[in-house]
């Protein structure tokens, strides 16, 4: 009940101007980073395939050039789809303070203000979060192949755990510090994991997954306040 109440409260605030501001900036930065990643991958592929490829003790291997050229399709089509979720989630975490504060201003107006998070700290946490999401999802590809029918559930469960852990920790840290957030997270891990899974399910829908991180931050702001009483 706590999870659904928090989720619907977050959805009800999606029209908040502060939410829209974060959404526009987050989507803009996500698109820029995805374009840069694709351009960088294509440049690397073109550079590697610009000359004849030779291998020690083997000599020239012409077909490797064809493999590299076809891999450009991966860079243009598959790479943005794969990176959209972790990049969007990490970018929104940069603006977590604004979203959480907007929720508290509307629903918890009697709370004292908290000092803002330093840009360097926010950037570090965002990059760390994105790295963990990318590595975890790359490793999970093995499980997707082995347990193909269960692939969606593996994706939802793993990313639900990571999203719940990260967003709850960052939201709670604003009020009770990193150690306090860790202890509260450990006490309510099942609830946090389930809430994260609720966020992870729509992440499989392109474009919708650009909005979900904002809803996730708002949801976990509500969950924190309801678990900390």
Q: Is the dihedral of CA 50, 51, 57, 58 positive or negative?
A: positive
If DSSP codes are grouped into helix, strand and coil, which group holds residue 66?
A: helix
Output the tens digit of pLDDT for each of the chain's 229 residues.
789 999 999 998 888 888 888 888 888 888 888 788 778 777 776 666 666 555 565 555 555 656 666 666 666 666 666 677 777 777 877 788 888 889 999 999 888 888 766 667 767 777 788 788 888 888 888 888 888 888 889 889 988 998 899 889 889 988 888 888 889 999 999 999 999 998 888 877 777 777 888 888 999 999 999 998 7
- C-alpha 159/C-alpha 190 separation (Å) is 14
Handedness of CA 227, 184, 125, 85 (dihedral sign): negative
Return the bridge partners of 55, or none.
59
Question: What is the predicted pLDDT for the residue at 214?
Answer: 87
pTM: 0.80
Distance CA 52, CA 45 (A): 13
At a CB cut-off of 8 Å and minimum separation 6, what does 184 contact? 172, 176, 224, 227, 228
pLDDT for 187? 93
Q: What is the spatial distance between Cα 15 and Cα 13, in angstroms, rounded to a whole number? A: 5
Q: How crowded is the C-beta side of 1, counted as CA atoms within 13 Å?
A: 1
Kindly report the length of the chain.
Answer: 229
The pLDDT of residue 129 is 80
Whether the CA torsion 168, 169, 170, 173 is positive or negative: it is positive
């Amino acid at each position: 009940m706590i999870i659904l109440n928090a989720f619907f409260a977050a959805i009800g605030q999606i029209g908040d101007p502060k939410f829209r501001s974060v959404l526009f900036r987050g989507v803009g930065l996500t698109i820029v980073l995805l374009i840069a990643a694709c351009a960088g991958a294509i440049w690397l592929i073109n550079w590697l395939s610009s000359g004849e490829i030779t291998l020690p003790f083997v000599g020239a291997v012409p077909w490797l050039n064809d493999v590299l050229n076809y891999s450009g399709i991966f860079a243009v089509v598959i790479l943005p789809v794969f990176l959209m979720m972790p990049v969007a989630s990490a970018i929104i975490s940069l603006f977590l303070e604004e979203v959480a504060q907007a929720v508290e201003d509307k629903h918890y107006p009697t709370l004292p203000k908290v000092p803002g998070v330093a840009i360097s700290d926010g950037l570090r946490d965002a990059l760390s979060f994105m790295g963990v999401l990318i590595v975890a999802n790359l490793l999970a590809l093995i499980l997707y192949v082995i347990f193909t029918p269960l692939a969606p559930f593996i994706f939802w469960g793993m990313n639900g755990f990571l999203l719940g852990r990260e967003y709850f920790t960052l939201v709670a840290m604003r009020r009770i510090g990193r150690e306090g957030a860790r202890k509260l997270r450990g006490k309510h891990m099942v609830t946090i994991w389930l809430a994260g899974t609720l966020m992870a399910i729509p992440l499989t829908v392109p474009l919708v997954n650009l909005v979900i991180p904002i809803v996730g931050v708002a949801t976990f702001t509500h969950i924190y306040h309801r678990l900390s009483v």
